[in-house]
Amino acid sequence: MAHFHNQQNLLFSFLLILSLTTLVSVSSHSRPYTIPSVSHLTDSFPHVTIQTAFSNAFGASNVKFLSNGSMATLALDKITGSGMVSQNRYYYGFFSAAIKLPAGLSPGVVVAFYLSNADKFPHNHDEIDIEILGHDKRNDWVIQTNVYANGSVSTGREEKFYFWFDPTEQHHYYSILWNSYHTVFFVDNIPVREFIHKNTYPFIYPSKPMSLYATIWDGSEWATHGGKYPVNYKYAPFVVSFTEMELSGCITDPNSPTSSCSKSNPLGQQDPINGAEFSKLSQQQIAAMDWARRKLMFYSYCNDVSRYKVLPAECH
């Protein structure tokens, strides 16, 4: 009888451990979320043909154009990652892509959709980043947003979020709105972060024309749990798909020292994305952003007191 009870206890313990493990490993996107309703900013701008709007940045052999150039796939394999860069530089704008991430185990893999001028200003560059970081067996893909200004890469302004959906099953929208009022990051048109521009601290905000990049690369040294889980090329190639690309804004003249909008606005009109319509979020968008930050944000540099003895000025 005692032997039977011992077996029962062992079975109970096993089931308890199994249930706890299941709870720990459940993905964020499998939880029941009531998604806020928001206006679709992505419906306000035209799609571009990726093949004509972009050039190869690196790993050209791993870049493929499909559907008459309206879709592109980028791959990471043992030899190289790959990336594209916009033909034009922009001084403010709305930038968006529908992205489908690689399926399967992807620790160390980084998919990035970002603005940068590091090629032109190597010592004081600006950057606005959406970086989507691969996962190990216990974690989902996560989205990291970041802002650099004037080369201040020593002061990271990262914020990290879980997804409320599986980003490998279909395409989802990832968007950046950048103007003189604020920088806003969107996922499926829901704002997840607003970086408000204040004259008090002008040096921390991107201020020079930037190119748009779409890339996939090996971030083994830092991407997954601080580099604990490197890329496992047994699962390569890792392929990411981009479509419904939108690039609207102030296109700068590469031969002009000033940031004019002469190409996108031949009549010299103010670029609309830098106008009053896009100067602040609507109440609906503010409520949606509050939902995303409460439910899904798990790291903000403004809460990292171990990293910053004195928090950056804009955090106060």
Residue with tokens 């002008």: 202
> What's the CA gap between 218 and 229, in Å, rounded?
11
Number of residues written out for the chain: 316
CB-side neighbour CA atoms (13 Å) of 99: 27
244 counts as catalytic? no
127 counts as catalytic? yes
Q: Where are the alpha helices (DSSP H) in the chain?
A: 2-25, 50-53, 283-296
Buried b (16+ CB within 10 A) or exposed e, 124-155: ebbbbbbbbbbbeeebbbbbbbbbbbbebeee
> What's the CA gap between 74 and 226, in Å, rounded?
24
> What's the CA gap between 182 and 286, in Å, rounded?
13
Closest CA to 282 of 92, 39, 105: 39
Residue with tokens 């798909």: 241
Q: Which of 127, 158, 159, 194 is catalytic?
A: 127
Residue 300 has a CB neighbour count (10 Å cut-off) of 16
- Tell how far CA 36 is from the center of its chain: 20
Contact 303, 165 (CB under 8 A): no
The widest CA-to-CA distance across the chain, in whole angstroms, is: 92
> What's the CA gap between 77 and 231, in Å, rounded?
10
Catalytic residues: 127, 131
